[in-house]
Structure 1
Amino acid sequence: MSNERMLEGAVKTAEGVELKGMVLEAVVEQCDGCDRIREFEGEKFCTSYPFPAKKWVLGDCNFATHVARVTASGKKINPLKASKRAARGGK
Structure 2
Amino acid sequence: MTALENATNTADGVVLNGFVLSPVVEQCTGCDRVREFGEEQFCSSYPVPSKKWVGGRCNFATHLKAQTGSGAKVNPLKASKRAAKGR
Same fold (TM over 0.5): yes
Partner of 1:29: 26
- The answer as to 2:84 corresponding to 1:70 is no
Equivalenced residues, count: 72
Paired AA for residue 20 in structure 2: V
Paired AA for residue 15 in structure 1: D
Secondary structure of the structure 1 residue equivalent to 2:36? strand
Task: Using structure 2 for the length normalisation, give the TM-score.
Answer: 0.76
Task: Using structure 1 for the length normalisation, give the TM-score.
Answer: 0.73
> Distance in 2 between the 1:8 and 1:54 partners?
24
Q: What is the CA distance between 1:46 and its match in structure 2?
A: 0.2
Q: Which has the larger radius of gyration?
A: 2
Q: What is the CA distance between 1:14 and its match in structure 2?
A: 1.0
Q: What is the CA distance between 1:8 and its match in structure 2?
A: 1.5
Identity of aligned residues (%): 62
Q: Which runs of no fewer than 5 residues in structure 2 stay unpaired?
A: 72-81, 83-87
> Distance in 1 between the 2:6 and 2:28 partners?
23
